[in-house]
Amino acid sequence: MGKTVPLTIDGKDVEAASGQTILEVAREQGIYIPTLCHYSRTTNVGACRVCVVEVEKAKSLVASCCMPVSPGMIIKTDSPRVKAARKLIVELLWASGDHNCLNCEQNGACELQNLIYWLEIEKPRFPIEHPGYDIEKTNTMIQRDLNKCILCGRCIRACNEIQVNEILDFSQRGSRAKVGPAFDTDYIDSDCYFCGECADACPVGAITFKQARFAGRPWEVKKVKTTCTYCGVGCQMDLNVHDNRIVKVTGNRAYEQPNEGSLCIKGRFGLDFISHPDRLTTPLIRKKKGGELVPATWDEAYGFISQRLFAIKKKTGPDSIAGLSSARCTNEENYLFQKFMRAVIGTNHVDHCARL
Amino acid sequence: MTNSIEEIEFTDVILATGTNTTENHPVISSRIKRAVRQRGAKLIVIDPREIDLVKYATLWLRQKPGTDVAVLNGMMNVIIEEGIYAKEYVENRTEGFEALKKVVEKYTPEYVEKISGVPVEDLKKAARLYAGAEKASLLYAMGMTQHITGTDNVKSCANLAMLCGKVGIEGGGVNPLRGQNNVQGACDMGALPNVFPAYQSVISDEARVKFEKAWGATLSAKPGKTVVEIAEAAHRGEIKAIYVMGENPLLSDPDITHVEAAFKHLDLLVVQDIFLTETARLADVVLPSACFAEKDGTFTNTERRVQRIRKAVPAPGQAKADWQIISDLSTKMGYPMSYASAEEIMKEIALVTPSYAGITYERIEKEGLQWPCPNTGHPGTRFLHKDRFSRGRGLFHAIEYIPPAELPDRDYPMILSTGRVLYHYHTGTMTRLAKGTMERCPESLVEIHPLDAERLGIQSGQIVKVTSRRGTLQAKAKVTTRSDAGMIFMNFHFHEAAVNLLTNPALDPIGKIPEYKVCAVRVEAA
Ligand code: SF4
Ligand code: SF4
Ligand code: SF4
Ligand code: FES
């Protein structure tokens, strides 16, 4: 910890840590400053400027997300000048794209929409210019509608600085600027790994999960925190549930370890199996060797198994019975399974298939 | 893992060997890539294939498949020869150094180059970089373990790390990355033939008495058989019944044909799963189970972190959680198990499993805890062996290089290595039903080097026939320099091109893991 920096923010004297930005200090103090391009754990680029504040003696308004504090700073986060600037910026953003919320997936969870409401903007003072891009629907996982893109660059930093997959970048600068994979290709034709980090990062409806399209509004969806069922990283994730169906999987950066909100394609887009029609829904028994597997009740199945197991145990002993547990089942289930094999059957022939 | 996932990002040198991290543990690979790109860490990759991590590496050692012990011994040879090992650490915290020194003496860089193909200078550089780092994390995965010398490979990794004083420190460690979500937990819970939960040996009278008391049953003192041994015993008719919960050994086992015959032999095969898998099709009874999103419980990740899963949707039809099925069946068989919830089972686990004693659902509601967690006031353990090893002193194992069980010859002139791809998981029963993953990777491909492809008249996309002593299959070729000349690579996610028809079931004598990374094959245009 370095030395502290005395400063005044909205009339309050505070001690900040040196190296902190104005935004960080404000948040610690419970002062709300809106942001769009700022995305924690990535570089602050100062692109959107909705986070501007007034610093006494500074010529112009400063972007609070990029500006480190210095001793004696007097900061105003809510002056008329700040308010006017924010409003102008947000109106420009609104007018620069096709922000028609009626059928947008982000409606209700959109940071731009929230900001417009918070700033009480009736309508932008500039004419709305539809950029006229085609909606990218060439893959089944991620849909891109760059008509809604506010060029905050969060997707680019998520891809390059968080996942370090190094797929996305700005393709041109200025008013023709556009985000996407190299050579302006669609995701499916690029080396994209479909981790979905960019979609989680996008504050608006420009990058969304295609399979969740029309599958439930943000406020209708229940998020259930769980652990990914695939590899040993054990990523924490939110299953987004609507009508008893998982409509999408999102990361949550507040969950911290082990994955800090990141996921890969398997955890993100690999869960269709859950609602697949081929799932087993009833016990099946093959009464005679060579016969067919036919549906049965649980009682019949338990009866059949216990009768056979008892008979085999009696005839050839407990060590003629073996159990294979699973590295995909829970701890509780593995515990019970080995307990069953050891205490009920009486054998140590129990293993799981993870050696394979 | 001895250490934590988070620490990988803040270490100085990362040695990744036998782990294709970007595909198999993608989120951990982001840590590695961030360490390199954003924090100036150095990455050493030791792998026969030009995996994606190579792009981020300072050094890439491309060894011949199965020569890992030689390479690691070679690194240690250089480190000892140049006197850059952690002398004080070796003195104070380890034993067996003299024996190790003696064995690695002959693994001079020149000798190792002959065995492994790794150039002398690269080996030296890697050795110096790893030994010279203040903090260095060694990562490995199936590329180390799926060999007949798997246990030797793992011990050699530990040798190297201890020699350089990299175990028991923040940012260091020997870190196996587990392939399946709950391998760690399955082992911790005693789903192993020789131990009860928390690795308490079944042959220890003390442990057995403890569990006999806890469970109110008489327990066997005879260690059981491993999965591959079980299949063999079934083939011989010694094992008459197998109860399989949530696995598809028919596709994951080496030498599928053999296992299928063995399973058909059984008097009773019970399979409990979410789908009618290849194995379930052979069963006498199939029990429908709930998947991870339809039940409560915990998984333990590769860094020993015990984390919750939560019921999000109802199970289809009459399917039930596996723990409920076992409880019901057990009760039916005269041993009542009456748990009202998964949480109740965890309470029992905590009572008999010292490393989980401090774990409760309440404590892991927000963030998981890493075992050992011996009591409910304990914060969990980020890295192991801080001041001492579990056995006191860290033991060096002097290990000689042994070549793979089956090497190329005139009839089968190429090496086949198997593994996973980013887009699929294990035998594919789940990922192959997903639109997205199938869109990105719809079929199995045979990775073959352009030189071999030209010699054999094979082009990308063309069907090729791959034959080993055990079987044959066909799949499309992908011509790429990722795999070296003389070697092909295939994944095992697709039953249409079931690569385990080809693989060699030769086992590591201790780990009992089959040699999936090396077998001899013949490739021809189909
Ligand atoms: S899905 Fe992942 S890899 Fe693809 S562009 Fe988005 S962040 Fe990058
Ligand atoms: S696509 Fe989304 S995240 Fe990317 S620049 Fe546009 S608005 Fe920002
Ligand atoms: S999301 Fe990907 S990296 Fe994370 S646990 Fe699942 S499979 Fe592993
Ligand atoms: S949030 Fe500060 S400039 Fe965008």
Q: Is A46 in the pocket of ligand 4 (CB under 6 A)?
A: yes
The predicted structure's pLDDT at residue A2: 63
Candidates B306, B321, B28, B338; CA nearest to B188 is B306
* Residue A149 and residue A49 share a domain: no
3-state helix, strand, coil in chain B (%, to 5): 35, 20, 45
What residues of chain B lie within 8 A of the CB of A333, using their CB? Answer: 245-246, 297, 321-323, 326
Contact between B49 and B71 under an 8 Å Cβ cutoff? The reply is no
Last residue of a domain, one of A40, A61, A78: A78
The predicted structure's pLDDT at residue A219: 95
Q: What is the CATH number of the domain that holds A212?
A: 3.30.70.20
Closest A-chain CA to B435: A140
Contact A309 B333 (CB under 8 A): yes
Whether residue A28 lies inside any domain: the answer is yes
Contact between B132 and B84 under an 8 Å Cβ cutoff? The reply is yes
* Residue A300 and residue A265 share a domain: no
The predicted structure's pLDDT at residue A62: 96
B368 touches chain A (CB under 8 A): yes
Average pLDDT score, chain A: 94
pLDDT band, residue A356 (cuts 50/70/90): low
Mean pLDDT by 10 residues, chain B (526 residues): 94 95 95 96 96 96 94 96 94 93 95 96 97 95 89 94 93 91 94 95 95 96 92 93 90 75 92 94 96 97 96 97 97 95 97 96 95 94 87 90 92 93 84 88 92 94 94 93 94 84 86 88 92
Q: How remote is the CA of residue A66 from the centroid of ligand 4, in Å?
A: 8
Residue A115 Cα, gap to closest chain B Cα (Å): 30
> By three-state DSSP, how is residue A184 classified?
helix
Last residue of a domain, one of A13, A46, A78: A78
**Ligand 3 pocket check: which of A162, A195, A228, A271 to mutate, most ligand atoms within 8 Å of Cβ?**
A228
Whether residue A139 lies inside any domain: the answer is yes
Which whole number is the average pLDDT over A3-20?
A: 93
CA of A155, closest atom in ligand 1: 7
How many CA atoms are closer than 13 Å to the CA of A29, on its beta-carbon side?
A: 23
Q: Is A263 in the pocket of ligand 1 (CB under 6 A)?
A: no
Which whole number is the average pLDDT over A323-345?
A: 96
Structure tokens at B17: 């060997």
Q: Which residues contact A28 (CB under 8 A, 6 or more apart)?
A: A16
Closest B-chain CA to A323: B243
The predicted structure's pLDDT at residue A185: 93
* Residue A261 and residue A138 share a domain: yes
Contact A322 B242 (CB under 8 A): yes
Q: Is A159 in the pocket of ligand 1 (CB under 6 A)?
A: yes
* Residue A141 and residue A200 share a domain: yes
pLDDT band, residue A172 (cuts 50/70/90): confident
Contact A258 B305 (CB under 8 A): yes
pLDDT surpassing 70 at residue A355: no
B514 touches chain A (CB under 8 A): yes
Distance between CA atoms of B341 and B436, rounded to whole angstroms? Answer: 34
Among B181, B323, B431, select the one facing A332 at the smallest CB separation: B323
Residue B520 Cα, gap to closest chain A Cα (Å): 19
Last residue of a domain, one of A275, A299, A317: A275
> By three-state DSSP, how is residue A4 classified?
strand
Contact B286 A293 (CB under 8 A): yes
Q: How many domains does chain A have?
A: 3
Bridge partner list, A227: A236
The predicted structure's pLDDT at residue B323: 97
Contact between A172 and A178 under an 8 Å Cβ cutoff? The reply is yes
Q: What is the CATH number of the domain that holds A56?
A: 3.10.20.740
Q: How many residues does chain A have?
A: 356
* Residue A241 and residue A209 share a domain: yes
Whether residue A340 lies inside any domain: the answer is yes
**Ligand 2 pocket check: which of A179, A197, A198, A209 to mutate, most ligand atoms within 8 Å of Cβ?**
A179
pLDDT surpassing 60 at residue A1: no
Residue A40 Cα, gap to closest chain B Cα (Å): 15
B303 touches chain A (CB under 8 A): yes
* A142 φ/ψ angles, rounded to the nearest 5 degrees: -120, 130
Q: How remote is the CA of residue B499 from the centroid of ligand 4, in Å?
A: 52
What residues of chain A lie within 8 A of the CB of B194, using their CB? Answer: 348
Whether residue A85 lies inside any domain: the answer is no
Give pTM, 2 decimals.
Answer: 0.94
Whether residue A47 lies inside any domain: the answer is yes
Whether residue A270 lies inside any domain: the answer is yes
Bridge partner list, B288: B273
The predicted structure's pLDDT at residue B342: 97
* Residue A300 and residue A178 share a domain: no
Closest B-chain CA to A267: B431
* Residue A271 and residue A187 share a domain: yes
pLDDT band, residue A233 (cuts 50/70/90): very high
3-class SS string, B461-490: CCEEEEECCCCEEEEEEEECCCCCCCEEEE
* Residue A297 and residue A175 share a domain: no
Among B28, B329, B339, select the one facing A306 at the smallest CB separation: B329
Distance between CA atoms of B282 and B126, rounded to whole angstroms? Answer: 50
* Residue A185 and residue A293 share a domain: no
Q: What is the DSSP pairing of strand A294-295 with strand A284-285?
A: antiparallel
* Residue A268 and residue A332 share a domain: no
How many CA atoms are closer than 13 Å to the CA of A328, on its beta-carbon side?
A: 24
Q: Which domains does chain B have, with CATH numbers?
A: 5-177 (3.40.228.10), 183-370 (3.40.50.740), 414-525 (2.40.40.20)
CA of A64, closest atom in ligand 4: 2
Among B216, B241, B273, select the one facing A320 at the smallest CB separation: B241
In one letter, which amino acid is B524? E
**Ligand 1 pocket check: which of A165, A185, A248, A262 to mutate, most ligand atoms within 8 Å of Cβ?**
A165
A169-183, A327-341, B45-59, B64-78: which has the minimum mean pLDDT?
A169-183
Q: How far is CA A266 from CA A193, B277, B436, B437, in A?
A: 10, 20, 9, 7
CA of A166, closest atom in ligand 1: 8
Whether residue A125 lies inside any domain: the answer is no
* Residue A270 and residue A141 share a domain: yes
3-class SS string, B27-85: HHHHHHHHHHHHHCCEEEEECCCCCHHHHHCCEEECCCCCCHHHHHHHHHHHHHHCCCC
Range of the domain at A44: 4-78
Whether residue A52 lies inside any domain: the answer is yes
